[in-house]
């Protein structure tokens, strides 16, 4: 993707130089081979360290919240799946579209030290939901080989309630409450998070009890239900390698089966399955029965 990177860099420098944008949100290399981190560039000279390629896995949509009310436009580079998150934020009126210049970057799949990212193994396609211009090539437009993203969820559903409890108890017991999953999640946009409220009785860091560590992740999953685009950032940044995406995918799977297929971030419709009501909705008893399965 060297050609795409060079084209994006040249275009970003041009937009910075003529004053169209005040800043650029992109990536730069860290200390390690796989350490490509989100970065802010405010001058053409700073763009020398800009990179884009197979290790630019970060979804930059969440970082846009910081610049939504700042002077001037912000240029942000988004991959096809990232635009789902950005568009969802637009639909929730959390971002002002006029404050951003979006370059859609062609993507051939992202990696880390373990191989292809989870979201790339279940690629949602090469279409951009929102953009000002697209910089890609023929290779990056080719469909990727993917697998059913719900396989992991189906395996969990085969377990008994006791087995699932033990599975999640074991996974969530490793949580150190670093809040990385919440902080990176494009759907977690509350100005004041409930878990940052001292009056809630919840510790801000390492949990004191099993109840607390379970509550944090379950409540967070409920809060993003119907709005999660399944970008996989929560699992990608978790230092304990907890498969948090499985919680979100379980919610997505249930909503799709109960209320019809829905992809958060697609199109212009603002209402989600949990914020709209129709005569075709599943009866409450059916929902309750599934919850007790």
Tens of pLDDT along the chain (293 residues) come to 899 999 999 999 999 999 999 999 999 998 888 889 999 999 999 999 999 999 999 999 999 999 999 999 999 999 999 999 999 999 999 999 999 999 999 999 998 888 888 788 889 999 999 999 999 999 888 888 778 899 999 999 999 999 999 999 999 989 988 899 999 999 999 988 888 877 766 655 555 667 677 788 999 999 999 999 999 999 999 999 999 999 999 999 999 998 889 999 999 877 788 888 888 787 767 766 666 65
Residue 4 makes CB contacts below 8 A (sequence gap 6+) with 52, 105, 106, 135, 136, 137, 140
- In the prediction, which pLDDT does 281 show? 81
- In the prediction, which pLDDT does 146 show? 79
- In the prediction, which pLDDT does 208 show? 60
Provide the b/e sequence for 133-161 (b: ≥16 CB within 10 Å).
eebbeeebeeebeeeebbeebeebeeeee
- In the prediction, which pLDDT does 229 show? 96
Specify which residues 104 forms β-bridges with: 78, 134
What is the helix (H) or strand (E) element at residue 111, kind and residue range?
Answer: strand 111-112
- In the prediction, which pLDDT does 288 show? 60
Residue 134 makes CB contacts below 8 A (sequence gap 6+) with 103, 104, 105, 106, 128
- In the prediction, which pLDDT does 177 show? 87
Judge whether 65 and 96 are in contact, CB under 8 Å: no
- In the prediction, which pLDDT does 1 show? 83
Judge whether 126 and 80 are in contact, CB under 8 Å: yes
- In the prediction, which pLDDT does 115 show? 80
253-254-260 Cα angle (round to 5): 85
């Amino acid at each position: 993707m060297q050609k795409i990177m060079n084209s994006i860099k040249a275009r970003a420098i041009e937009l910075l130089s003529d004053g169209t944008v005040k800043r650029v949100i992109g990536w730069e290399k860290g200390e390690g081979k796989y350490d490509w981190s989100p970065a802010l560039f405010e001058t053409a000279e700073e763009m020398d360290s800009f990179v884009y390629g197979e290790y630019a896995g970060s979804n930059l949509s969440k970082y846009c919240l910081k610049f939504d009310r700042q002077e001037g436009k912000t240029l942000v580079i988004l991959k096809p799946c990232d635009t789902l998150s950005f568009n969802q934020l637009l639909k929730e009126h959390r971002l002002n579209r006029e404050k951003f210049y979006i370059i859609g970057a062609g993507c051939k799949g992202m990696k880390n030290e373990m191989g292809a990212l989870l979201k790339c193994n279940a690629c949602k396609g090469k279409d951009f939901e929102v953009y000002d211009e697209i910089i890609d090539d023929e290779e990056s437009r080719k469909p990727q080989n993917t697998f059913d993203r719900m396989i992991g969820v189906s395996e969990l559903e085969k377990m008994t309630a006791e087995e699932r409890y033990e599975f999640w108890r074991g996974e969530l017991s490793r949580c150190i409450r670093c809040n990385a999953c919440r902080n990176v999640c494009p759907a977690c946009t509350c100005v004041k998070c409930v878990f940052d409220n001292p009056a809630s009785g919840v510790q801000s860091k390492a949990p004191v009890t099993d109840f607390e560590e379970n509550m944090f992740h379950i409540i967070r999953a409920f809060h993003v239900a119907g709005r999660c685009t399944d970008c996989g950032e929560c699992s990608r940044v978790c230092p304990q390698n907890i498969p948090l995406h499985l919680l979100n995918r379980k919610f997505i799977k249930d909503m799709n089966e109960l209320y019809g297929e829905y992809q958060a971030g697609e199109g212009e419709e603002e209402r989600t399955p949990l914020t709209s009501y129709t005569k075709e909705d599943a009866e409450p008893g059916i929902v309750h029965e599934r919850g007790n399965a």
